[in-house]
Amino acid sequence: MDFLPKNINDYSENHTSSESELLANLNRETHAKILQSRMLSGHLQGRVLSMFSHMMQAKTILEIGTYTGYSALCLAEGLVEGGKIITIDINEELESFTKQFFLASDYAAKIDYRIGDAAEIIPMLDETFDLVFIDADKMSYQKYYDLVFDKVRKGGYIISDNVLWSGKVANIEPNKKIDKDTQNLLDFNKMCHEDPRTENILMPIRDGLMVCRKK
């Protein structure tokens, strides 16, 4: 996931607003206690998500893939009064760990944390979303995109994480077999870029954010 030279990445983080004390604690605790801690959004990407939420003055946000809650808390920062974020994760083993940080935050009343299969939960949602953040099973990105598209308002955003896949999508060697996850993300990125219903930008932040704005 480290595409920039460390000195440039460090300089960027040092000139980016600090994460809150709660987020810093969540960051430390995730790395100390939870497997696959690299899945955490982290400081720089977290501030990007918070900035998007603030710029949009979001009222309704959907997150697919909660993990330990770092990105949900960042997105919640920009919610307007009365706004909410629905965040879905299939891993019930992380529920108690994640929930304690939600409850300790200033946004506890705005976070609707659901455990279950997003593909089953999304069709039952009646909300229209300003912003959807997809950060879950990479093989299901196209399915999630299709499920949420009609639930995103005109001018709203779908942001998908990990679309650079540790650089694999940009380092395809001729005549070499491509693994399924990488091929799936290649296909997903192509679909997003060619979808006439949106405008898009692939931002090389951390492991890549595909940002699509619905026309």
45 φ, ψ (degrees, to nearest 5): -65, -35
Instruction: Give the burial class of 213: count Cβ atoms within 10 A of its Cβ; 0-12 exposed, 13-18 middle, 19 or more buried.
Output: middle
Structure confidence at residue 103 (pLDDT): 98
Structure confidence at residue 1 (pLDDT): 66
User: Tokens standing for 74?
Assistant: 């960042």
3-class DSSP assignment, residue 123: helix
List CB contacts of 33: < 8 A, sequence separation 6 or more.
Answer: 97
Q: Which domains does the chain have, with CATH numbers?
A: 6-161 (3.40.50.150)
Instruction: Give the burial class of 182: count Cβ atoms within 10 A of its Cβ; 0-12 exposed, 13-18 middle, 19 or more buried.
Output: middle
- Asked if residue 60 lies in contact with residue 84, where contact means CB atoms within 8 angstroms, the answer is yes
Structure confidence at residue 38 (pLDDT): 80
Structure confidence at residue 53 (pLDDT): 98
Q: Any idea which residue has 């949009």 for tokens?
A: 56
Structure confidence at residue 37 (pLDDT): 82
In whole angstroms, give the CA distance from residue 153 to residue 143: 18
Instruction: Give the burial class of 86: count Cβ atoms within 10 A of its Cβ; 0-12 exposed, 13-18 middle, 19 or more buried.
Output: buried
Structure confidence at residue 4 (pLDDT): 78
pLDDT in tens, the chain (215 residues): 667 788 998 999 999 999 999 999 999 999 999 888 888 888 999 999 999 999 999 999 999 999 999 999 999 999 999 999 999 999 999 999 999 999 999 999 999 999 999 999 999 999 999 999 999 999 999 999 999 999 999 999 999 999 999 999 999 888 889 999 999 999 999 999 999 999 999 999 999 999 999 99
Q: Which residues pair with 214 in a beta bridge?
A: 198
